[in-house]
Homo-oligomer: A and B are copies of this chain.
Amino acid sequence: MTRPRADGRRVRGERRRAELIDAALRVIERDGVSGVTHRSVAAEAGVPTTSTTYHFASLDDLLVATLTSSAENMAADIRDSIESSRIKGASPAAAVAHMLAEAVGPRRGRTMAEYELYLLAARRPALRPAARRWLDVLTSLARNPDEVGFRAFLSGVDGLLLQGLIDDEPPTAAELLPVVEALLAPLR
């Protein structure tokens, strides 16, 4: 499998590989996981069809790489969002509610893609470590990660996102705020 060496060789291929992963994520946002084919991803990336088969042994490998990358991005986004809310002095609940509203509103497609990949991990054990990645990131931000209340909070966030995706009208931050506060209440 294409892996950059310590001496810096073989960098060219890694770039295209990354472009294919990004293209795959865009395809999933637009058409869902079922829309991912060698051809659709290659077309989205603007490269020949067989480029996908060269860089990824199978379609499955491409999905694994995409979920891994996606989880990493999501983790970084969450970290940034919480960081910036801390700087602006907003309450934790308000920061979380705002983030959730973004996720089910403007970033809806992205959130759908991430949960489809998330659910895919339920069927393919190879994907599970990557799927658990963002839970780990959130956990690392907690003051007391082992606390039962924190697990309840994390579950609530997952549920709110999932439910927000099947609302005809995505919930606003104002609507989400009291629920987030209820989930956060046992933690203080």
Contact = CB atoms under 8 A, between A and B. Distances in A.
Interface of A: 32-34, 112, 115-116, 118-119, 121-123, 125, 128, 131-132, 135, 148-149, 151-152, 154-160, 162-163, 165-168, 178-179, 181-183, 185-186
A135 B125 CA distance: 29
A161 to B, nearest CB: 8
Contact of A119 (B116, B152, B156, B159): B116
Contacts of A149: 182
30 contacts: A32-B123, A33-B34, A34-B34, A112-B119, A112-B123, A115-B119, A115-B122, A118-B162, A118-B166, A119-B119, A119-B162, A119-B165, A122-B165, A128-B167, A132-B166, A135-B163, A148-B181, A148-B182, A149-B182, A152-B156, A155-B155, A155-B158, A155-B159, A155-B183, A158-B158, A158-B162, A158-B163, A159-B159, A159-B162, A185-B186
A109 to B, nearest CB: 10
A131 to B, nearest CB: 5
Contacts of A185: 186
A125 to B, nearest CB: 7
Q: Is the interface of A mostly helix, strand, loop or mixed?
A: helix
A125 B167 CA distance: 9
Nearest to A111: B122
A116 B112 CA distance: 12
A155 B151 CA distance: 12
Contact of A152 (B118, B158, B179): B179
Contact of A166 (B112, B122, B168): B122
Nearest to A180: B152
A66 B163 CA distance: 20
Contacts of A181: 148
A59 to B, nearest CB: 11
